[in-house]
Amino acid sequence: MKINFDFSSMKYKEIKEYILSIEDIENVFETGENGSILEKLLQDKRKTVQKLGIKMSKILESKEKEIQRVRKMYDFDRSFGDFRYVAGVDEVGRGPLAGPIVAAAVLFDSKIIEDKDLILRANDSKKLSIACRKELSIIIKERALAYTITAIDNKQIDEKGIAWCNNQVFLESWAGLTTKPDLVLSDGYKIKNYPGLNEFVIKGDTLSISIACASIIAKVYRDELMVEYHEKYPNYGFDRNVGYGTQEHVLAIKKDGITPIHRKSFLTKILE
């Protein structure tokens, strides 16, 4: 739409309400035809209106930087060769004293990614707020061509060891995908006994879009599971520490003993 009226005839409150009422405001401001909106704000004689223009300019600049950052993550996944179906695999919960280790696999069709499909804010799940992770988890599941979430419980961790379980949960995650990947990117570790093409990426959840998305949905799943365990075992703070060995958690173990979801092999020094 073309803006044909003059902001100078409007009060600041009216201008602000109008700007905030524009649907898809970022796209409206970014189009060349409507660039005059930002110009009108910045050239207005009133300081308050100019500040509104500066604020909108910074929002657009920040959005563009985020688009460029995330595009690099998609480009990274395409940099390994002419593969159409690329899946990323990542795990959460390798180090906690309680609960399962969880891995997710997320697969995208690398040939049909348009700007509108970019999953902005995707990053290492630990760098995101709880609310952001939950929101992104929904978006990822909607936009991924396929995804899986797999867990191995504390009993198998005690029996088989965490290294075996880490690899196994990677294997089970990619195997559950409804579309077979041409390439699997794994975070930190090469997947042993994987029958296809696999590349491991150090700090992959900050470099690869598919690994970052796997990191996010795996963490959301595991964190929500640990909140459920908190309802059953309220003395250990699982809703806050998600099973990790915080001071609160360790003191609770020494006071109240262990639960059925604790990893006994991780507690030898604590229980001495």
- Interval 41-100: pLDDT, tens: 888 888 888 888 888 888 788 888 888 999 999 999 999 999 999 999 999 999 999 999
Strand pairing report for 146-152 and 101-109 = antiparallel
Please list, in sequence order, all residues whose beta carbon lies within 8 angstroms of the beta carbon of residue 248, skipping any fewer than 6 positions away.
236, 237, 240, 241
Provide the pLDDT for residue 59: 78
Instruction: Output the six-digit token pair for 210.
Output: 């598919």
184 and 238, same domain (yes or no): yes
For the cut 70, the answer to whether the pLDDT of residue 6 exceeds it is no
Provide the pLDDT for residue 2: 46
152 and 47, same domain (yes or no): no
Report yes or no: 191 and 198 within 8 Å, Cβ to Cβ.
yes
For the cut 60, the answer to whether the pLDDT of residue 30 exceeds it is no
Q: Which residues does the annotation place in the binding site?
A: 90-91, 187
- Interval 188-210: pLDDT, tens: 989 999 999 999 999 999 999 99
Question: What is the average pLDDT across 147-167?
Answer: 98
Domain that holds residue 54: 9-78
Average pLDDT, the chain: 89
CA distance 261 to 235: 13
120 and 203, same domain (yes or no): yes
The alpha-carbon radius of gyration of the chain (Å, integer) is: 24
Provide the pLDDT for residue 32: 45
122 and 248, same domain (yes or no): yes
Instruction: Output the six-digit token pair for 124.
Output: 């290492």
Long-range contacts of 177-181 (CB under 8 A, 24+ apart): 177/87, 177/105, 177/107, 177/146, 177/147, 177/148, 178/146, 179/85, 179/107, 179/145, 179/146, 180/85, 181/85, 181/86, 181/87, 181/105, 181/107
131 and 230, same domain (yes or no): yes
- Interval 213-226: pLDDT, tens: 999 999 999 999 99
| pTM to 2 decimal places | 0.83
CA distance 29 to 35: 6
74 and 19, same domain (yes or no): yes
Give the strand order in the sheet containing 198-201: 146-152, 101-109, 85-92, 183-187, 198-201
For the cut 60, the answer to whether the pLDDT of residue 262 exceeds it is yes
175 and 45, same domain (yes or no): no
pLDDT band, very low/low/confident/very high, at 104 (cuts 50, 70, 90):
very high
Domain end (from 51, 78, 105): 78
Residue 214: CATH number of its domain:
3.30.420.10
64 and 100, same domain (yes or no): no
In a domain, 272, yes or no: no
47 and 174, same domain (yes or no): no
What sign has the CA pseudo-torsion 239, 243, 249, 252? positive
Q: Which residues does the annotation place in the binding site for a divalent metal cation?
A: 90-91, 187
72 and 100, same domain (yes or no): no
For the cut 80, the answer to whether the pLDDT of residue 4 exceeds it is no
Provide the domain count of the chain: 2
CA distance 92 to 146: 19
154 and 187, same domain (yes or no): yes
